[in-house]
Structure 1
Amino acid sequence: MNALLAAILGALFSAALPGVGWWPLALVLVPLFVLIAQSSSARGAFSLGFWFAVAFFGLYLLWLPTSFATLFSPAAWVIYPPLLLILGVFWGLVTGLSRWLGGLGAGTLALLPALWLLMEWLRTQGYFAFPWGVLGYLWVGTPVAQLAEVLGVYGLSLLTLALIALLALPWVRRGQSLRALFGAALLLGAAWGYGLFREGMPLPETPYQALLVQGDTDPLGRAIGAENDLEVYLRLTRWALADGANPQLIVWPESVVMGPPLESPAAHGALQQIQAVVGEIPLVTGVSAVTGTIRFNSVYSLQGRAVLSRYDKVYLVPFGERWPLIEQLPNLYRTVFSWFGLPMLLNTSPGQAVTPLQSPVGLIGAYICYESVFPQVARQMVAQGAQVLLNISNDAWFGLGRGAQQHFLMGSLRAIETRRYLLRAGNDGITAVIDPLGRVQAALPRGGQASLSGHFALMEGYTPYVRLGDRWLLAVALYALLVPLLRIRKP
């Protein structure tokens, strides 16, 4: 019965995070924490976390099999249940370990936020990193999100977990009701008040204009090399400039240009076409740069025919841009791809370092698609001097579900963490300009060919989050180790 209740709570919680965004539904975590703290065993606590996560992700990631179906047809649904089971194990380990190390009652509540947070961070590391479902994103669109300039998204997660633990405490330990509720109210009130104060701060004038172009082209045709989108983007840019747009920067989305690296002589024709339309206006564009069997997902800064700088995507999409062991098992992959009518897909090579782009406008922190949900990417760009953030993407893969909206809203928090304007150009959207307070200043609806002229400013200075990053997580890890040693656990 408790496992069923945990699953119901997980299903409800899926509506709290970006996509639906009913953040008060995070309160369903209170009964979950109470159930875990009062569970008769660590095994029972594991079951609660497992079924909560399976139900939560089962609804929250419902767009995922639809996305993979673009390449792999309905067979993509076969991989969905195993993914949910893996995610369920992550949460089950957190809740089970919290109960085992913390003991029955308040000790578990003391340990659960720390272990939950460490699990969130670990899920975003390594080859199969997948940052969807990070708790801190539920504050996007509220004043509390402004605290991200100090704590980052993981700090917002810890704030949330601390609030939930305080609200659960009166149900676990008698005589703590007034103190716990006062602590929770004080914590939330301080966070909300800080956010309201920061939202009232004036922003500088926005002297620069960017032209963001949205071509709405077929992602599958691009992936298998059947289409080159350059002509579409040249036409849309030509129309926008003819209609009176006077930008200091033009931005095209991910992988608009396909072919050899733009530094190579073989790309001279493409650069000539671009200059004929753009002239000397600085352009930032996505390029799928292929040399033989080596491919990079890149973003280039151009002016005229000159390549000013280039950044190669570092954080690649598992089973989208890189395929585990494909070099060791090429025949197996070739057979699988052929079942779905696909040619042999290349592994995308990761870039070597996160670095901003040089541009006549200034230093641009440009990153690609999936990288927008890794806060360390934008932070490292700004720490190296980036004055404006730029995210190019191709969200057409998400299909009609909530994935694209989730992706956009999670990425918008990078503007607050770094206090930079964020320019976003998506193949089918969401194309937008976001200010340093995380507010959308201008946007195009998803789908359809269009261009957006938006204004921005170059920002200076570093937020506490840019300076310190997530180093404070080490203190959380130390706390998680010390709690059992200090005998919070009870027999």
Structure 2
Amino acid sequence: MRKHSKIPQIKYPLLLLLPVAILFSLALEPFGFASAGFLCIFLLLYFTKLLTEKSSWKQTFLATILFSSLVTVTSFYWIWNAIRNISGQGMMISILLFIIYAFVSFYKVGVVFFGSVFLTKKRTVKNSDFFLLLLPSLFLISDWICPMVFPVYWGDLFRNQILWRQMAKFGTEVLGFVSILSVSLLYLMFLKSKQGIKSYFPYLFPIFCFFSLNLYFLAETILQGTNIHLALLQPNTSYAKREIREDQVWMTNTIQSVYDLGLEAIRNASKPVDLLILPESSIPFLGTLDSKNPNSTYSKSFVDITRSLVQISNTPLVFNELVWDLGSRNSLTILHPITLVSERRYKQVLLPFGEYLPWETKLPWLRNLFPETSNHIPGELTEALGFQTKTGEVLSFSPLICYEILYPDFVGNVVRHSPSEFILNLTNDSWFESQTEAKQHAGAGRLRSIESGRPVVRVAVTGITTAFDPWGREMMGDLQTFQKAIGYLDLPTVEKGRTTPFIQFGPSPWRFMAIFLIFFVFFRSPPRILSHKKKNEIEI
């Protein structure tokens, strides 16, 4: 009988983080290889085990900084464009800001690294407990407690595999937990199992159960609601810096271009349109809410074109505007036909360094570094927005603006607070000037559709304009990015009462489970005897 395989040693473990980061990028869009995600986690588990054997706090810290930097450079290099455009600084300052961001952007891996080293320093943890209980729990907790400027969850590495991602019905954190647990089972099977196929069964059976549950969710029948016809407008308005606001020619041409695109969408529709939708920042800086405040963004031209489109089409119009209401607000607005009454929902989750400056009151000099950052204030949780279809039925949608689609907890709270038939996300990715960023941002909507059990419609000013059904499948071909375009979508909505385990229970049960598993492993494992104490005991 063969002995258990030992974990091989490598001379410079930190070098292993480079292929891990490359595999991380291959798992995300635009590649979307779920197999790369599994291999990435496999090597990350192996590296974490090596860290616990070294038990060096210095190396653990270096590993955290290095992994964060490598992931940023390989997967999120597009953040450079945002930093350069928002800061308006020269090359050297922009590079410095990007390097600082890269060091800390994916600091969440430190929860896994430091947590593993700390626990194994204190306790003699069996390999099975370490890989099957401790590590998946630390990954889940890192998703929970680590806020990020651009949130990325471990479950996102597997969102492009339709036969596996359905576990997101319990939440993206659970998708990550189950995926890491499955990789851990394979790790133990390959490196510690006895010879013979029969010995693989205990490792493969849980994975088979997870896969079967995914298949069950994929085969689930979801009662459909009303079918509606949407016109999605992509005006390809470029990002606009503050000086553009004073350029009357540019602003006039932009307003006219958006209006012409709306008329074209109305004329070319093959069937009556139930909802006409413009994305975020179609017309930057302006709004339709009149105000006596000197900072008012009110534009009579903006009011005229929105009302004209609604009157010509006799269709509700959804659009984004910047309004002044006790402060600057990023608003999703619906303008109803006949009455011409507007309803607004203000963006609640604001993008730091883009829509507001963190710590600006204490560090006012930050404004000099990021002159293009807005001073928006957040809105509050409100009801879903309703509209009447051409057939006279009243439907509703959960409104999300850009960045908000990245947060599972937030989207879950929105749907729980006021259930709707679908989710509508207006967004603007033009500041990043990257198709990779647009695809990664859109990919988040795929998981939000599975979590909420509702279609997600995404309308982007420069692309990607697309839609996902409740299983995360694309419902329309992506419109060409960075081009003016119109998309028509026949959207099968769901019943307003549609729910999922994530909507019912939220993430709390799984977070408490992760904490319990860590304490369970800690207190059931014997204290670790340090090497110098072992030597003394032998001498005695």
TM-score calculated relative to the size of structure 1? 0.88
Match of 1:118 among 135, 141, 149: 141
For 1:385 and 1:223, the matched residues in 2 are separated by 41
Q: After superposing the two structures, state which structure 1 stretch, 347-356 or 464-473, moved more.
A: 347-356
Retained in 2: the 8 A contact 1:299–1:368?
yes
- 1:379 matches 2:412: yes
Conservation of the 8 A alpha-carbon contact between 1:355 and 1:380:
no
Greater alpha carbon shift after TM alignment, 475-484 vs 231-240? 475-484
1:52 aligns with 2:67: yes
Alpha-carbon offset, residue 449 of structure 1: 0.7
Percent same amino acid at aligned positions? 23
Q: SS of the residue aligned with 2:451?
A: helix
The residue that corresponds to 1:17 in the other structure is 28
Query: What is the match of residue 31 of structure 1?
Result: 43
For residue 238 of structure 2, what is the amino acid of its counterpart?
Answer: D
Determine helix, strand or coil for the equivalent of 1:241.
Answer: helix
Q: Distance in 2 between matches of 1:175 and 1:223?
A: 69
Per the TM alignment, residue 484 of structure 1 is displaced from its structure 2 partner at its CA by 1.3
Q: 1:309 offset after TM fit, Å? A: 2.4
User: Is 1:6 matched with 2:40?
Assistant: no
Distance in 2, matches of 1:50 and 1:329, equals: 25
| 2:256 paired residue among 231, 255, 273 | 231
* Alpha-carbon distance in 1 for matches of 2:342, 2:75: 41
Look up the SS of the partner of 1:389 in the other structure.
strand
Q: Partners in 2 of 1:176 and 1:90 — Cα distance?
A: 37
**Contact 2:34–2:161 (Cα < 8 Å) also in 1:** no
One-letter identity of the residue aligned with 1:108: F
Q: Once the 2 structures are TM-superposed, how far is the Cα of residue 113 of structure 1 from its aligned partner? A: 1.5
Cα distance change of structure 1 residues 178 and 261 upon mapping to structure 2, 3 Å threshold: farther
Question: How far did residue 221 of structure 1 move?
Answer: 4.1
Name the structure 2 match of 1:67.
82
Which residue, 471, 477, 486 being the options, matches 2:515?
A: 477
2:396 paired residue number:
363
Q: Which amino acid aligns with 1:34?
A: Y
Of residues 286, 289, 292, the one that matches 1:262 is 289
Counterpart selection for 1:90 from 90, 108, 124: 108
Q: Where in structure 1 are there 5+ consecutive unaligned residues?
A: none
Q: How does 1:433-472 map to 2 (within 5 A)?
A: 433-442=467-476, 443-460=478-495, 461-472=498-509
SS of residue paired to 2:434? coil
Asked if structure 2 preserves the Cα contact closer than 8 Å seen for 1:50 and 1:90, the reply is no
Asked if the contact 1:99/1:108 (under 8 Å) is kept, the reply is no
Offset of residue 291 of structure 1: 5.3
Q: How far is 1:9 from its partner?
A: 2.3
Task: Please tell me whether residue 277 in structure 1 is matched to residue 277 in structure 2.
Answer: no
Asked if the contact 2:231–2:487 (Cα under 8 Å) also holds between the matched residues in 1, the reply is yes
Q: How many residues align?
A: 480
Who wins on radius of gyration, i.e. which is larger?
Answer: 2
* Distance (whole Å) between structure 2 residues aligned to residue 309 and residue 66 of structure 1: 34
Distance in 2 between residues matched to 1:488 and 1:313, nearest whole Å: 50
RMSD: 2.9
| Greater CA drift, 68-77 or 178-187 | 178-187
For 2:269, give the aligned amino acid.
G
- 1:230-280 CA-to-partner distances (Å, cap 9, x unmatched) read 432221010111223521001111133543553659566533331212223
After superposition, the Cα gap between the structure-2 partners of 1:260 and 1:453, relative to the gap in structure 1 and judged at 3 Å, is: closer
CA–CA distance in 1 between the matches of 2:45 and 2:198?
18
For residue 143 of structure 1, give the secondary structure of its aligned residue in structure 2: coil
DSSP 3-state at the match of 1:288 = strand
Structure 1 position 183, deviation (Å): 4.3
Structure 2 portions without partners, runs of 5+: 1-11, 293-297, 389-393, 530-540
* Cα deviations by residue, 1:413-440 (Å, 9 ceiling, x for unpaired): 1111112122111001111122222111
Following the alignment from structure 1 to structure 2, what is the Cα–Cα distance between the partners of residues 357 and 13?
38
CA distance in 2, matches of 1:180, 1:50: 39
Quick check: 2:61–2:110 contact (8 Å CA) kept in 1?
yes
TM-score in terms of structure 2 length: 0.81
1:108 and 2:151 aligned: no
Cα shift readout 1:276-303 (whole Å, capped 9, x = no counterpart): 12223111111111358x2111101211
